[in-house]
Chain A
Amino acid sequence: QSALTQPPSASGSPGQSVTISCTGTSSDIGGYNYVSWYQHHPGKAPKLIISEVTKRPSGVPDRFSGSKSGNTASLTVSGLQAEDEADYYCSSFAGSKNFLFGTGTSVTVL
Chain B
Amino acid sequence: EVQLVESGGGLVQPGGSLRLSCAASGFSFSNYWLSWVRQAPGKGLEWVAKIKQDGSDKDYVDSVKGRFTISRDNAKNSLYLQMNSLRADDTAVYYCVKEGWYCFDYWGQGTLVTVSS
Contacts and interface: CB of A to CB of B under 8 A. Distances in A.
Contact of B107 (A46, A97, A103): A46
Contact of B100 (A40, A43, A51): A51
Interface size for chain A: under 10, 10 to 19, 20 to 34, or 35 or more residues? Answer: 20 to 34
Contacts of B102: 32, 34, 36, 51-52, 93
14 contacts: A3-B46, A38-B104, A46-B45, A48-B104, A48-B105, A51-B101, A57-B105, A91-B45, A91-B47, A99-B47, A101-B37, A101-B44, A101-B47, A103-B44
B14 interface: no
A91 B104 contact: yes
A47 B103 CA distance: 11
A101 to B, nearest CB: 4
B101 A46 contact: no
A91 B103 contact: yes
Interface string B84-117: 0000000000010000111111111110000000
A57 B106 CA distance: 11
Contacts of A24: none
B45 A101 contact: yes
B50 interface: yes
A57 B103 CA distance: 11
Nearest to A6: B44
Contacts of A104: 44-45
A32 B104 CA distance: 16
A47 to B, nearest CB: 7
A48 B4 CA distance: 14
Given A97-B50, A97-B59, A48 B103 contact: yes
A49 B4 CA distance: 18
Contact of A45 (B57, B59, B103, B109): B109
Nearest to B59: A97
Contacts of A99: 47, 104
